[in-house]
Amino acid sequence: MSGAEERLLRLLGGDETAWLVDRVRRRMEQGRPLTGTVTLAAATPAQRRAIELLLGRRAGAGTSLSVSLGDMDRMLRASGVAAGGLREAVVRLRGPVRDLAGESAARTAAWEQAFARLDTLVAGRPELAGWRSWLEATGVVRRLTATAEEAGPLLDRLAAVLDRLPSSGLPLGRLAAETCGDAHALDEGRPLATLALSAARALAGLPYAGEGGADARRRTWAAIGVHLDDLSSLVLCLGLPGDDRTPTGRMLSAARAAGEPCVLTLRQLRRHETPFQADLVRICENPVVVAAAADELGASCPPLVCGGGRPSAAVWRLLGLLASGGATFAYHGDFDWGGVAIAAAIHERLGFVPWRFDATSYEAVPSSAPLTGRPNPTPWDPELASAMARRAVRVEEELVLSELVADLASNRSGSAIRHRGAG
């Protein structure tokens, strides 16, 4: 061991100066300058004597002990103990120093890169902005992956999945295969499935964490047009004209003659390839409207389809078959922001005239239920969104049930629905 090494160990290598070396090393790891003063509260006599030996002068009185880092650096350089000063001395005593600030910046950059594709997609999808903030706040991605390098491919696949949602009726396995190259990538329990399901809840206007269970999972995917199988996606209808040539057509004809609601599966509708012939088809959001119409009108009820909240793949398929047959649509739903979002999706895809679903109708119904959620535009009646934001109450379909059934009983034309409003 050289004389310089012996002097360095004698001056700074003992237990009495370990606190000082620790403080300096921590500053170096954090990228902070080695300037100013460090202080040790309640210093022992041995610690005070060690600093006096180091600096060559008395270390002051009192219980605390303060050391100027600048003085230390100059002393080490001038004495030849460490030509590179305090920084060199600490490295010689304790080994290479980690650049914690640099490591932190590198980790931050790596995570930003991992999220880059997803963030680009979310930037154009404001309905996912809250969900993206939730991902960050909960740290769910970091819990599911060990590093940013592991998270990057997972988040890229997630972005590819979200770019296809909402869907017009896609099987979950096919969605996984076409976006991830693995038909099982969205199977329950997989990290990608966990993240994609939380995004599906966001798109459906549901809590991001949501409830567990297979039924809840199935409903969530169905709400954005993805079905786990052809039998779990359903649509409720009443009074739809069928035919006598196909199995599904005969079911509809029999249900219409009996005045009973009919539930069709996506499997049945996928196997039915010919359009359904109808003129005006009314669409409601809640099954209670169908039940009341069946109770009061029975076989005389005009064509009515229930969206059941966010339209499932089966709902979209049935509405598509009706549209192909020349049907036009009149829509009513809940006057809340979720209901407006549902209506906007149907309006964009199929078009409709509002069925008591305009500003005048909204203002006419007493309600004290608070309106919550993120506002959405109402392109079929722009004044409706303004009226809802101004009044700030929600109106559920059940509050106007008698009026809706009366409309069905009178079988008004689409023109009358458009112009009469609340009636």
Do 251 and 392 fall within a single domain? Answer: yes
Q: What was the pLDDT predicted at 421?
A: 38
Q: Which helix (H) or strand (E) holds 37?
A: strand 37-40
pTM value? 0.57
Do 372 and 250 fall within a single domain? Answer: yes
Do 154 and 69 fall within a single domain? Answer: no
> Sign of dihedral through CA atoms 332, 335, 341, 344?
positive
Q: What was the pLDDT predicted at 53?
A: 84
Residue ranges of the chain whose pLDDT lies below 50: 412-416, 418-423
Q: What was the pLDDT predicted at 79?
A: 87
Do 78 and 162 fall within a single domain? Answer: no
Q: What was the pLDDT predicted at 58?
A: 78
Domain boundary among 182, 205, 227: 227
Q: What was the pLDDT predicted at 61?
A: 67
Q: Which helix (H) or strand (E) holds 329?
A: strand 328-331
Do 264 and 392 fall within a single domain? Answer: yes
Do 223 and 238 fall within a single domain? Answer: no
Do 129 and 223 fall within a single domain? Answer: yes
Domain that holds residue 172: 107-227
Do 259 and 386 fall within a single domain? Answer: yes
Do 210 and 271 fall within a single domain? Answer: no
Beta strands in 203-285 (DSSP E): 226-227, 234-238, 262-265, 280-284
Number of folded domains in the chain?
Answer: 3
Dig out the tokens for 162 from the structure: 């979200």
- What residues pair up with 67 in beta bridges, in sequence order? 38
Specify the 3-state DSSP secondary structure of 171. Answer: strand
Q: What was the pLDDT predicted at 374?
A: 85
Domain boundary among 169, 194, 227: 227
Domain boundary among 98, 129, 163: 98
Do 383 and 308 fall within a single domain? Answer: yes
**Cβ distance 284 to 397 under 8 Å?**
yes
Do 413 and 302 fall within a single domain? Answer: yes
**Torsion angles phi and psi, residue 161, rounded to 5:** -65, -50
